[in-house]
Structure 1
Amino acid sequence: MSNYSSDPKRRVGHEKSLHAILGEGTVADILLWRNKNLSTAILIGFTVIWFLFEVMEYNFVTLFCHVTMAVMLVVFAWSNGAIIVDRNPPDLRGLTIPESSLRWLLTKINRFLLRFYDVASGKDLKTFFLAIAFLWIFSGIGNNFSSLNLLYIGFLCLATLPALYERYQGEVDYLASIGNQDMEKLYKKFDAKVLNKIPRGPVKERKRF
């Protein structure tokens, strides 16, 4: 009998599903491949961009100008062609970014900044040292890969790992629990041998008025 549950509905320390954690919106559908056509189109689009810049060594300014010209020509032909065939021109509202999307993005940025401050201030030493170790490893990886390759690899992970996790959640949770136990043991040893030996000044009591 297996030590882990293969039930895809299993939860990791919470009652919400992965789709609910990701917001239950279009972004969640894309990341979990609920909308396969849109997810595939985005993956192909990013792959084409990576191929043009990394393989074909296309210049960003040149590509931006060419794409902008192509879009302008399409819009020009669409707008004027719609009048000729007696159809409505393209709706400008379909070309704008909804304000709700910008608010969502700003909210995420603010939460990230607050979380970054909490970690950097050392309120949780375990998270602080894990973040330092992760950034140090990531900086070493960055020396061997171009920025574009790193961004593309990150996008591939973002586009595939959530869907794979949802499918194999039981197996991943089991392995993650084992890894978490090992990390807890290492941190306790580090805390006992290093952190506890760091001299700290006496804590002054606050005066009561």
Structure 2
Amino acid sequence: MPIYSSDSDNETMPRTKLFGRQRPIRSVLGGGQVADVLLWENKGVSAALSIGMTILWFLFEVAEYSFVTLFCHISITAMLVVFIWCTSAEIFNWTPPEMPTSILDKSTFHEFASTFHERFNQALSSFVDIACGKQPALFFAAIFCLYILSVIGNYFTFLNILYLCFVCLQTLPFLYNKYEDKVERYAGELTREVKKMFRRMNSNVLSKIPRGPVKEKKAR
């Protein structure tokens, strides 16, 4: 008779982090300003980035602007605002506007580029390991996920998928960091149930499949 581990045994199992994570979520995201934006610790920048990306998505996808047209219209509007502002300051003896020489620090771009470079190399290394067949389960799971994405790509534009990925980046890490204990508990319960299901299938189905006798090699 097949022997299954009891639920009490599963409940006493040590709880592991999601995806085998050993470091805190902030460290996984690279730390620094990038993690601050993704975890909404710098709420002003995170909100401005989310609003800006939403406006761009609306203009390109809903209003059907082209990139060149949108860029020209924004440039014209900005030049008219600056011109009217400067002219009014000269006529009414107001303080002229102070134009910033730079909006973002150079360190911000270096940090973003460094984080992107590190994550891209990690993803490429994982892709090569999976493609080489070192982890068969991940190999077939990756093929299945890529096929699903290819099907989804027939119904969504690249911009929609890009915006959806951005929304996920702006929401999932924040929600996971806020409700980490609950997510870990539910994920652990789901993992245990899946493992129990595979053990039952192995004992009830796979172990009963007849196999031919193993031929022993003759000693020479």
TM-score by length of 2: 0.66
Query: Shift of residue 142 of structure 1?
Result: 1.6
Cα deviation digits, residues 27-48 of structure 1 (max 9, x gap): 1111111111111100000000
For residue 101 of structure 2, what is the aligned residue in structure 1? 91
* Per-residue deviation, 1:159: 0.5
1:169 corresponding residue in structure 2: 180
SS at match of 2:156: coil
Match of 1:116 in 2: 127
Cα distance, 1:183–1:141 mapped onto 2, change above 3 Å = farther
TM superposition shift of 1:127: 1.1
**Whole-Å Cα distance in 1 between the matches of residues 95 and 137 of structure 2?**
66
| Cα distance, 1:139 vs structure 2 | 1.4
Query: Any stretches of 5+ residues in structure 2 without a counterpart?
Result: 1-9, 212-220
Q: Show CA shifts across 1:94-148 (max 9, x none).
A: 5757445434333332232222111111111111111111111111222222221
Q: Distance in 2 between matches of 1:186 and 1:59?
A: 51
Q: Distance in 2 between matches of 1:15 and 1:120?
A: 25
Deviation at 1:85, TM superposition (A): 5.9
Match among 5, 13, 17 for residue 24 of structure 2: 17
What TM-score, normalized by structure 1, do the two folds share? 0.69
Q: Quote the residue 2:143 is aligned against.
A: 132
CA distance in 2, matches of 1:91, 1:157: 33
What corresponds to 1:205 in structure 2? none
Q: Bigger shift: 84-93 or 26-35? A: 84-93
Question: Structure 1 residues 166-175 or 51-60, which shifts more?
Answer: 166-175
Q: In structure 2, what is the equivalent of residue 43 of structure 1?
A: 50
Deviation of 1:14 (Å): 4.7
Match of 1:105 in 2: 116
Question: For residues 69 and 41 of structure 1, do their structure 2 counterparts lie closer, same or farther at Cα, with a shift above 3 Å needed?
Answer: same
- Post-superposition Cα deviations, 1:168-205, rounded to whole Å, max 9, x if no partner, equal 2122112222333455555986xx69xxx9xxxxxxxx
104 and 69 in structure 1: CA distance in 2 versus 1, 3 angstrom threshold? farther
What SS class does the counterpart of residue 124 from structure 2 fall into? helix
Distance 2:69 2:111 in 1: 32
CA contact (8 A) 2:34 2:112 kept: no
Whole-Å Cα distance in 2 between the matches of residues 15 and 78 of structure 1?
54
Residue identity over aligned pairs, in percent, reads: 40
Aligned-residue Cα RMSD (Å) equals 3.7
Match of 2:6 in 1: none
Does 2:160 correspond to 1:149? Answer: yes
**Deviations 1:36-76, CA, capped at 9 Å, x for gaps:** 11111000000000000111000112223334555677789
- For the pair 1:66 / 2:73, whether they are aligned, the reply is yes
Distance 2:97 2:73 in 1: 28
1:71-86 to 2 correspondences below 5 Å:
none
Larger Rg: 2
Q: 1:94 to 1:153 in 2, by over 3 A?
A: closer
Letter in structure 2 aligned against 1:27: V
Question: Counterpart of 1:122 in 2: which secondary structure?
Answer: coil
Residue equivalent to 2:4:
none
Any conservation in 1 of the 2:30–2:115 contact (CA below 8 Å)? no
